[in-house]
Structure 1
Amino acid sequence: MYNRILVALDGSQTSEKALKSALQFANERYSKVAVIHVKKNINIYETMSSEVVDEMYAEMKQEADKLFDHARALAEEFGIEIETHYVIGEPAILIVKMAEEGNFQLIVMGSRGLGGIKGLMLGSVSQKVSQLSHCPVLIVK
């Protein structure tokens, strides 16, 4: 039924629970799993040097790599090999776009990420994904 599962990771506890749930589900059904980490674009000011900007992007990529290493280690425990995707931009839109372009049949994500108060005021990413997605969305608490 769900041969391809996309898991959204942001480093929060609920996204880790979502990953574990997706891996268990995939293991039981022989599904393929991909993980996406979306980082919001940074504000770049004229006074910033290109070295500072490059360093900021490198730090963002290192954070994603750490998440992916952890995700691969968890997946290995289930005997599953995962593919990883790191993108920069609007999280909800890019998660849905990846799901559509990759022909994923299920998106799994945590109910609350690292957004805090700002996330509450703007609406959560999981809520936006569930509204925009072409496929089912499993939101893990």
Structure 2
Amino acid sequence: MFNRILVAIDGSKMSEKALKSAFNFAKERYSKIGLIHVDKNINISNGMPIATIDKVYSEQRNKGMDLLDRAVSFAAQEGIEIETHYVMGEPAIQIVKKAEEGNYQLIIMGSRGLGNIKGLMLGSVSQKVSQLSHCPVLIIK
């Protein structure tokens, strides 16, 4: 039923649980896994030198790619091949967009990530994804 599963990870304990659940799910159903990590766009102050901006974006991307690389290593230990996606933007929108573009049939993610207190007032990423998604969303607690 779910041949393609997209897993959203952010380095939180909940996203680790979501990843483990996705691997178990994939093994049982011979599903293909896609991983996505979304970094929010950085607020750039006026007058910030281009070299500084480039460095900040580079560091942010390196951290995101490291997170994905660790997940790929973990998947390899489990005998699971995965594809990875690193994107920047608003997390919920980017996750839903990637799920649609990649013809994913299920999104798996943690119930709470590394978001700040603002997320409590505005609603979590997982809530937004479940509202916007074209496919089912499994939220791991």
TM-score range, shorter-chain basis?
over 0.9
| One-letter amino acid of the structure 1 residue matched with residue 64 of structure 2 | A
Aligned length: 141
Q: Displacement of 1:78 after TM fit?
A: 1.8
Distance in 1 between residues matched to 2:68 and 2:10, nearest whole Å = 10
Q: Spell out structure 1 runs of 4+ moving beyond 4 A.
A: none
Distance in 1 between residues matched to 2:86 and 2:73, nearest whole Å = 17
What aligned pairs does 1:34-113 form with structure 2 within 5 A after superposition?
A: 34-113=34-113
- Contact kept? 1:6, 1:33, Cα under 8 Å: yes
| One-letter amino acid of the structure 1 residue matched with residue 106 of structure 2 | L
**1:52-84 Cα deviation digits (max 9, x unpaired):** 100111111111111111111111122111111
Q: Secondary structure at the match of 1:34?
A: strand
| One-letter amino acid of the structure 2 residue matched with residue 56 of structure 1 | V
- 1:4 alignment partner in structure 2: 4
CA root-mean-square deviation: 0.8
Distance in 2 between residues matched to 1:65 and 1:40, nearest whole Å = 14
Distance in 2 between residues matched to 1:13 and 1:118, nearest whole Å = 19
- 1:19 alignment partner in structure 2: 19
Distance in 1 between residues matched to 2:123 and 2:65, nearest whole Å = 27
Q: Secondary structure at the match of 1:16?
A: helix
TM-score of the pair, normalised by structure 2: 0.97
Distance in 1 between residues matched to 2:84 and 2:72, nearest whole Å = 9
Q: Secondary structure at the match of 1:113?
A: coil
- 1:131 alignment partner in structure 2: 131
Q: Runs of 5+ in structure 1 lacking a partner?
A: none
Distance in 1 between residues matched to 2:65 and 2:39, nearest whole Å = 12
Q: Displacement of 1:44 after TM fit?
A: 1.2
Identity of aligned residues (%): 69
Matched, 1:30 2:39: no
- Pick which of 64-73 and 94-103 moved more: 64-73
